[in-house]
Amino acid sequence: MTNLWMDIKHADVITVMGGNAAEAHPCGFKWVVEAKAHNNAKLIVIDPRFTRTASVADLYCPIRQGTDIAFLSGVAKYLIDNDKLQHRYLAAYTNAAFVVKEGYAFDEGLFSGYSEDKRDYDKTTWDYEIGPDGYAVVDETMQHPRSVMQLLKKHISIYTPEMVERICGSPKETFLKVCQMIAETSSPEKTMTSLYALGWTQHAKGSQNIRSMCIVQTLLGNIGMLGGGMNALRGHSNIQGLTDIGLMSNLIPGYLNIPIEKEPTYSDYIAKRQFKPLRPGQMSYWQNYNKFFVSFQKAMWGDKAQKENDWAYDYLPKLDVPTYDIVRGFELAKQGKMSGYVIQGFNPLLSFPNRAKMTEAFSKMKFVVVMDPLQTETARFWENHGEYNDVDPSKIQTEVFELPTTLFAEEEGSLSNSSRWLQWHWQAQEAPGECRSDIEIMSALFLRIRAMYKRDGGAFPDPIVNLKWDYAISHSPTAIELARELNGYTLAPVTDASGTTIPAGKQVDGFAQLKDDGTTACGCWIYSGCYTEKGNMMARRDNTDPGDRGIAPNWAFAWPANRRVLYNRASCDPEGKPWSEKKKLIEWNGKQWVGFDVPDYGATVAPDKGMGPFILNQEGVARLWTRGLMRDGPFPTHYEPFESPVANAAFPKIKGSPAARIFKGDLADLGTSAEFPYAATSYRLTEHFHSWTKHSKINAILQPEMFVEISEQLAKEKGIAKGDWVRVWSKRGSLKAKAVVTKRIKPLVCDGKTVHVVGLPQHWGFIGETKKGWHPNTLTPVVGDANTETPEFKAWLVNIEPTSPPADRQRTV
């Protein structure tokens, strides 16, 4: 979230699209209700299903899953055509006036530089024209034909209300009402918040779904504002933290990158990351990249990371492909190229696409290690559970370890929520049996491996035997010891920008004190400030909220720098005065920036210096057009899902997202709409959390068994009655479930064709307190988003028919 949960109360319009907050984030959704009750806010819900979020909406608009870009590009077109823009914001705080270099083009759904063989782009033409002064060329009038504004207008010109209706199945009149309501927030006094979740990310163009709304919010001047922003309602309690700390193939904590092969030396690596400003006077904060990187290397390898050895740059692995993400990992496993998987608190047998492929992949591995407080299907992929897991254990030669771990009530530490708050929690009970914490298990494994390398040698032992490991009890580092490393500390006396000298061996106050000369260490620069010399800032419990801003600045710690609303400099006009007094966050008092939140800006940089509010960007402004930063294009474009019930109405020749990676076997596993006519999607119920709460008795009682939601019309066509058993199948698999025939799903008409939506909630498996059942991922295709490789779980194709119950559910009379 750019903003935070309580901040939703300040919104004038709330758009929930690509999510269902009322059911998936109920206690966060209260702030939507608060905004409706006390701020006269209007709630718009755009979803294929009439969800519980929709049930309290002021306006519900149906949409076919996988067509969000067409819908939102249509909204952007409406805003431009009807002059519903925040003009000063657009001119001063976005790249609308930047001129793009010659050669950039978009034709028939493809950008310049496309290679069909590589399914990838040569992105050299996707950049600004650079002037003789070395800076990007800007045309203040925005009239230059290659200005971002003119290119945007041209790019979205096809998304007329009629085209939106053809692609999305959203009635034109309802779509226009959505546009009108959203357009109200072009006023500097009014804001819209965008709440979204996996309904946007789980598509082959998921990142571009989000980009589409970023464009809308930027045109409206809603970023950086109280009650505005782009708010990802994230899935797990610490999915934010795990991403922040970089537990992904290609990341180093704090959104730094693992080097690639073509960066063989530290100087190659850092040369690409100088991030010089693209306009005069811009901060371009990533210029400090080397400070964060060197401090990270010091946190990892201490004295062994020195200037002379390029800060132990060789200790880091180098990527030969963009990522070894889960899709690639299990593709390699299926090919027999993986020896094993070590899995903490994760149930990939159910959570990853194409169950049959997952079972095959697991069965080909030599070993699988699962650490979890619960018995998972993954740990039992080899165990026969009748038709729910129809495997022959004697044919599976995988060694499997199930290691019992503590759960939240049995450990202390911090979790980072969607609002980027690091909140500390404490232990309330001892764990049962012989459970150990994940920290103890990882430490025990590491210490054993290190001992073997010290004793016997082996492949490149250096980064292992030299890993900094100076915890008081080496097999059980405490959460506090680890938190202190994440915060960062001085290794020698350090003088910061204010001239204060911090002695060696002290916790730093924040990332501004980090150095690139080896005098500081820091595990995760954006977490710097979480555990300072003042103590554990994450454990703070002062909930006072000056000015009733919905910020509570002294509750826990928010990254970065305890800032609660990102880009908050943009809440003021270029002169430093809040756009809206009612929505004041910070302001310029003639000497410095002051207010309710920590300014996202140089604290004493005067407004007349012309520094843009988006200080991380080299441009200093928000990007309507993203240069070469996204793999699949600098503007979002409508592409159909890889499995779609209709052809692409805008670009008929294109199937799927042209730059999304898909492996050969997975491509062959895609079905057609002739064979599989119905548009399937998966989702959560409010009573369950993934495959986790099926282990909790009350939740298992509330929603005891798998079901499939279909419309009354489809039920009638197929001869299915409420409560009947149905078989749902895709090119990749088949499952059985009870039918729920509902008015919540209605057929859509797309380009003259009736499209039926089939909904599959995703909470059942073969272990736990619920009845046994199948996970929708038994059926889902294996193709990921072009930028993130997040699988396309939200839009795929199935067929459906009435069937007999599974063997264990047949009633004997």
Q: Single out the segment in contact with other proteins by CB under 8 A; choices: 54-62, 339-347, 593-601, 628-636.
A: 339-347
Check binding of 770 to other proteins (CB under 8 A): no
Question: Using the rule CB under 8 A, which residue among 255, 324, 663, 725 binds other proteins?
Answer: 324
Check binding of 33 to other proteins (CB under 8 A): no
CA distances 609 to 74, 320, 589, Å, are: 36, 43, 15
Check binding of 369 to other proteins (CB under 8 A): yes
Nearer to other proteins, 249 or 742 (CB): 249
Check binding of 258 to other proteins (CB under 8 A): yes
Q: What are phi and psi of 670, to 5 degrees?
A: -85, 140
Q: Is the peptide bond before 560 cis (omega within 30 degrees of 0)?
A: yes
Query: Could you write out the DSSP letters of every residue in 467-490?
Result: S----SSTTS--HHHHHHHHH-EE
CA distances 438 to 44, 243, 344, 364, 431, Å, are: 42, 18, 8, 26, 13
* Whole-angstrom Cα Rg for the chain: 27
Footprint of other proteins on 208-227 (CB under 8 A)? none
Q: Measuring CA to CA, which residue among 774, 812, 777 is closest to residue 793?
A: 777
User: Nearest approach, Cβ of 220 to other proteins (angstroms)?
Assistant: 25
The answer to whether the CB of 468 falls within 8 A of the CB of 300 is yes
Check binding of 32 to other proteins (CB under 8 A): no
Check binding of 425 to other proteins (CB under 8 A): yes
CA distances 769 to 117, 541, 703, 765, Å, are: 49, 36, 10, 10
Question: Using the rule CB under 8 A, which residue among 219, 400, 585, 797 binds other proteins?
Answer: 400
Q: Single out the segment in contact with other proteins by CB under 8 A; choices: 10-18, 519-527, 737-745, 754-762.
A: 519-527
Question: Using the rule CB under 8 A, which residue among 416, 520, 618, 637 binds other proteins?
Answer: 416
Footprint of other proteins on 536-595 (CB under 8 A)? 541, 543, 545, 552, 555
Footprint of other proteins on 433-492 (CB under 8 A)? 433-439, 441-446, 448-449, 452-453, 458-460, 463-464, 467-468, 477, 479, 482-483, 485-486
Check binding of 255 to other proteins (CB under 8 A): no
The answer to whether the CB of 632 falls within 8 A of the CB of 657 is yes
- Per-residue interface string for the shown chain with other proteins, residues 698-737, x marking contact by CB under 8 A: xx--x-----------------------------------
Structure tokens at 608: 């007349």
Question: Using the rule CB under 8 A, which residue among 65, 73, 359, 418 binds other proteins?
Answer: 418
Check binding of 432 to other proteins (CB under 8 A): yes
User: Nearest approach, Cβ of 30 to other proteins (angstroms)?
Assistant: 7
Distance CA 384, CA 659 (A): 39
Check binding of 27 to other proteins (CB under 8 A): yes
Q: How many residues does the chain have?
A: 813
User: Nearest approach, Cβ of 75 to other proteins (angstroms)?
Assistant: 26
Check binding of 403 to other proteins (CB under 8 A): yes
Check binding of 204 to other proteins (CB under 8 A): no
Footprint of other proteins on 136-195 (CB under 8 A)? none
Contacts of 467 (CB under 8 A, 6+ apart): 300, 301, 446, 450
Q: Measuring CA to CA, which residue among 433, 434, 426, 432 is closest to residue 409?
A: 426
Structure tokens at 203: 């598509």
Nearer to other proteins, 687 or 717 (CB): 687
User: Nearest approach, Cβ of 793 to other proteins (angstroms)?
Assistant: 8
Residue whose structure tokens are 């001119």: 91
In 144-219, DSSP assigns E strands to: 192-196
Secondary structure of residue 763 in the 3-state scheme = coil
Secondary structure of residue 158 in the 3-state scheme = coil
Check binding of 112 to other proteins (CB under 8 A): no
Q: Measuring CA to CA, which residue among 398, 378, 250, 465 is closest to residue 775?
A: 378
User: Nearest approach, Cβ of 378 to other proteins (angstroms)?
Assistant: 9
Structure tokens at 169: 């199945």
Q: Single out the segment in contact with other proteins by CB under 8 A; choices: 113-121, 186-194, 209-217, 240-248.
A: 240-248
User: Nearest approach, Cβ of 222 to other proteins (angstroms)?
Assistant: 22
Distance CA 27, CA 647 (A): 40
- Per-residue interface string for the shown chain with other proteins, residues 784-803, x marking contact by CB under 8 A: ----xxxx-x----------
Query: Could you write out the DSSP letters of every residue in 574-606?
Result: TTS-BS-STT--EEE-SSSEEESS--SS-TT--
**How buried is 91 (Cβ within 10 angstroms: 0-12 exposed, 13-18 middle, 19+ buried)?**
middle
Q: Single out the segment in contact with other proteins by CB under 8 A; choices: 100-108, 203-211, 607-615, 687-695.
A: 687-695
Check binding of 660 to other proteins (CB under 8 A): no
Nearer to other proteins, 18 or 221 (CB): 18
Check binding of 202 to other proteins (CB under 8 A): yes
Strand 340-344 to strand 367-372: parallel, antiparallel, or no bridges (unpaired)? parallel
Helices 161-168 & 172-183 angle (0-180, nearest 10): 120
Nearer to other proteins, 192 or 539 (CB): 539
Check binding of 239 to other proteins (CB under 8 A): yes
- Number of amino acids touching other proteins (CB under 8 A): 164
Dihedral (CA of 802, 808, 811, 813) sign: positive
- The residue type at 52: R
Footprint of other proteins on 274-313 (CB under 8 A)? 300
Check binding of 606 to other proteins (CB under 8 A): no
Check binding of 331 to other proteins (CB under 8 A): no
Question: Using the rule CB under 8 A, which residue among 122, 173, 261, 548 binds other proteins?
Answer: 261
Secondary structure of residue 509 in the 3-state scheme = coil
Nearer to other proteins, 360 or 751 (CB): 360
